[in-house]
Amino acid sequence: MAKATREKRDKQFGKWFRQMLIDAEILDYRYPIKGCGVWMPYGYKIRRLVTQLLRQLHDGTGHDEVQFPVMVTETNLRKEAEHIRDFENEVFWITHGGLKALEIKFALRPTSETAMYPMLRLWIRSHSDLPKKLYQIGSVFRCETKTTRPIIRVREVTTFKEAHTCHATFEESEAQILEATQIYKGFFDACGVPYVISRRPEWDKFPGAFYSLSFDVIMPDGRTLQSGTVHNLGQNFSRAFDIQYETLGGDHEYIWQTCYGISERAIGALISVHGDDNGIVLMPDLAPIQIVIIPIPSKENPQTILDTCREVADELRSEGFRISIDRREDLTPGAKFYYWELRGVPVRLEIGPKDVSRRQVIIVRRDTFQKEACKIADLPKGMRRLMNDMSDALRDKARKWMESRVHRVATLDEAAKLLKCRAGIVELPWCGDAKCGHIIEERVNAKLLGTQAGSEERTHGGCAICEKKARGLVRAAVAY
C-alpha cells in the first residue's frame, strides 16, 4: 500500500475530495463515460446507511416507496411547458431499439414528474384517494453541459430520493411542505451537516414549480452545495397531466402537488464537512464500521492478544455495534491506523500485551485523536457514550464553522469582497424585485440562493440596490 501524499482539505478542497473518493474506496470516477461514477464496496455501505435513514424518515411519516421506469416518452416529457424548456438541453434521448429507429423517442428521466404523473391520473379518482405520499430512490440523468465533478455534478445521479405528494387543497400542500422540511432537517441533523434554508428566487425555482425551497450547505472551500430541495408545485402539473379528483360534493378539482428531493450530494456534503487532512470522518450512525480493533502484536503471547480482540469484538457486536478486527499480517499497526483513519472509522481500539494483562483496551477517537484506556468490563457503556459525544462534537463543530461563514452585510462592496475570497454566504437586504436581484448577482459575481424564510419582519432599511424598503434578506454565494 503506497502512502501517497494526502491533500489538505482546506487548501485544495477539490483535489482532496477526489482523492478521498478513490483512496477511501467510496467511488471510482474513472468510468469511461464522463459524469458517471462507480460506487465501490465501502462507499456502497455508506450509501446503504444513508438510504436506510431516508427510508426510515419517509416510511415513518406515511410515505410509500414505489419504483417507476427510467424511460419517459417524449410526449409526456413535453406536457408541462416550463418543465421541458428547462430540461431540454440536458436530456439524454434514446432513439433506437436494436438496429431500428423507435417510433417515438424516449428520454432518460431527468427527474420523475413526467414518469409518475400519468399514472397518478389513473390512481387518483376521489377525495378518499388523497392525500397520496409516494417516494422512490433511483437514478436520474442529465447531460450536464457544465463541468462535471464526482457526486457533486454528474450525468447519472445514482441516488436520487424523490418524494411526490398529492392533496385536495392548497392548505394541505402547504402543510406537506412543512412536513417535508422537518424530514430534511431531521436527515441533515442526523448527518451532522449544517444548512441554511432559502426560498429560491423566481428565476431559479424548479421548472414548473409554484415555489422552491432549498437546503444549501457550505463546503470547505466556501462554495455552497444545493443538497436538498422542496417544491410546492401548485396545480401546474395536475393541469398539464389532467389529474382531477371528485370532491365530497361531487365536483371535479385538480389536485395540489408537492415534490422534494435529496441526492448523493448529501453523501458528498457528509464526507466534506466532517473530513480532515487525515481522511474522511464518519458520523457513528452512518459508519459501516463503527469500531475497528487493531491487535498490537507481541512475540510472547500473540494468541492471547487475538483471543482478547475476539472477546471484545463479540461483546460489542452483541451490543449492536458494527465492528471489525484488522488481522492482516502483512501490515504494521501504524499502517493499519493510517488505513482506517482514511476511511473515517469513528473509534479504534488497540489491544497489546499490557492491555491483555490489565484487562483493558486503548481507545482512540477519530475526530480528536484523543487516547484513553478503558477497562474491558466498562466498554459497552463507554462506547455508547463515546459515540454520542462524538456525534454531538462533529455536529457542533460543523455548525459553528458554518455560522462563522454566514455574513450579514449592508453593502454590495462588502458582499463582493467576501465572495471574491470564497468566505461563504452573504446576506443583504433586498426589495424582492428581479431586476435588483440580477444586478446583485452580476455585481457580486455569485448566485442568489434566495431569501431567508421569516426574514421579512426582521429586516430594516433599504434594498442594497434601489434603496426602496427591503422585503427580506437575500443570500448570495458562489455555488457549485
What are the residues binding its own copies (CB under 8 A)?
Answer: 28, 30-33, 36-41, 44-45, 47-48, 64-73, 75-76, 88-99, 106, 108, 115, 118-119, 122-123, 134, 139, 141, 143, 145, 156, 158
Nearest Cα to Cα of residue 273 among 341, 222, 322, 342: 222
Nearer to its own copies, 70 or 416 (CB): 70
Which of 97/302 has CB closer to its own copies? 97
| Least CB distance to its own copies at residue 70 (A) | 6
Tell the smallest beta-carbon distance from residue 322 to its own copies (Å).
Answer: 12
* Nearest by Cα to 215 from 176, 189, 234, 233: 189
Residue 115 or 291: which CB sits closer to its own copies? 115
Nearer to its own copies, 322 or 417 (CB): 322
Closest approach, Cβ 38 to its own copies, in A, equals 5
**∠ CA 328-332-333, rounded to 5°:** 90
Least separation in angstroms between CB 43 and its own copies: 8
Cβ of residue 76: shortest distance to its own copies, in angstroms? Answer: 6
Q: Which is nearer to its own copies, 94 or 175 (CB)?
A: 94
Judged by DSSP in three states, 476 sits in strand
Q: Which of 164, 200, 157, 202 is nearest to 180 (CA)?
A: 164
Measured from the CB atom, the residue of 123 and 170 that comes closer to its own copies is: 123
Cβ partners under 8 Å of residue 90, min gap 6: 110, 142, 143, 144, 145
Contact 214, 450 (CB under 8 A): yes
Q: Which residues contact 423 (CB under 8 A, 6 or more apart)?
A: 222, 405, 407
Q: Which is nearer to its own copies, 158 or 452 (CB)?
A: 158
Comparing CA positions, the residue from 379, 422, 19, 78 lying closest to residue 223 is 422
The smaller minimum CB distance to its own copies, of residues 188 and 321, is found at 321
Residue holding cell 478486527?
325
Nearest to 389 by CA among 300, 461, 264, 284: 284
- Residue 321's nearest CA partner among 380, 262, 394, 254 is 380
* Burial status of residue 451 (CB atoms within 10 A of its CB: 0-12, 13-18, 19 or more): buried
Residue pair 155/143 in contact by the 8 Å Cβ criterion: yes
As measured in angstroms, the least distance from the Cβ of 113 to its own copies is: 14
Nearer to its own copies, 99 or 421 (CB): 99
**Minimum CB distance to its own copies, residue 149 (Å):** 16
Which C-beta is closer to its own copies: that of 143 or that of 466? 143
CB of 99 to its own copies, least distance (A): 6
Whole-angstrom CA distances from 55 to 41, 68, 283, 308, 422 are: 21, 17, 18, 37, 35
Identify whether the C-beta of residue 479 lies closer than 8 Å to the C-beta of residue 446: yes
Amino acid identity of residue 445, one-letter, is N
Q: Could you tell me the smallest distance in angstroms from the CB atom of residue 204 to its own copies?
A: 20
Residue 50 beta carbon to its own copies: minimum distance, rounded to whole angstroms? 13
In whole angstroms, give the CA distance from residue 367 to residue 303: 31
